[in-house]
Amino acid sequence: MSFVDPTPAPGPAPGPRLGGRRAEAQRNRERLLDTAREIFAERGVGASLNDIARQAGIGNATVYRHFPTRRELIVAVYAEEVTALCAQGEALLGHTHPVEALFGWLRAFVAHVATKRDLALAIPTDGQRSALFDDWHAATRATAARLLTRALPAGTPDADLGASDLLALFCFNASATTDSEQIDRCLALVRRALFPREPSVVNGREVDLG
């Protein structure tokens, strides 16, 4: 005679279900940020959240669950841009040519300032704005300082040059022109002033300063 165990078979453990939901939520968040970044770049930061949700293929309720306000979405998109810029600098610390690494990153910094200005300005002025920008500026300065320290050995005539000086200089540069050749020329001029024995190479090509 066979024996049938009356105890019901255990259902799936709750952990994997929760993990699956968390993973899906993370994918939705990343899709929203990627889509928002594209739409903001194409149409400006005033683009409709409904349009972002529609293009991302995500329901409005999910959008507002992740980002209850437009401000929170803009902050998240801009924060990712700063993180990506700093990560690029960290990766360049392994470059075999420290001067190339520094000016390659400065070129990316100028592009960031020039193309993300509207996004940064769209973050409302409130009690949190200053703290956010202080953190972002500190992260950017730290990245620039590491690249500069590696490129500019102690004891050289300009060894006291600060990362803040370079970033301020190229912030002005990004604000003054969007002409790519002019930006490269300004970077090459600074490179020649700091490293007169180095070729005036920016963005992978030598810039004619004659």
- Residue-wise pLDDT tens digits, 2-59: 333 333 334 444 444 446 778 888 888 999 999 999 999 999 999 988 999 999 999 8
**Percent of the chain surpassing pLDDT 70:** 80
User: Are 116 and 81 spatial neighbours (Cβ–Cβ below 8 Å)?
Assistant: yes
- Residue-wise pLDDT tens digits, 84-129: 999 999 999 998 889 889 999 999 999 999 889 999 999 988 878 8
CA torsion sign for 175, 160, 143, 138 is negative
What CA–CA distance (Å, rounded) separates 85 from 82?
5
Give the pLDDT mean for 126-135. Answer: 89
User: Are 28 and 62 spatial neighbours (Cβ–Cβ below 8 Å)?
Assistant: yes
What CA–CA distance (Å, rounded) separates 58 from 28?
7
Residue 164, pLDDT above cutoff 60: yes
Q: Is 122 helix (H, G, I), strand (E, B) or coil?
A: coil
Residue (of 69, 80, 88) closest to 31 by Cα position:
80
Ramachandran category for residue 37: left, alpha or beta (phi over 0 → left; psi -120 to 50 → alpha): alpha
At residue 93, what are phi and psi to the nearest 5 degrees? -65, -20
Quick one: pLDDT at residue 210? 57
Q: Find the length of the chain.
A: 210
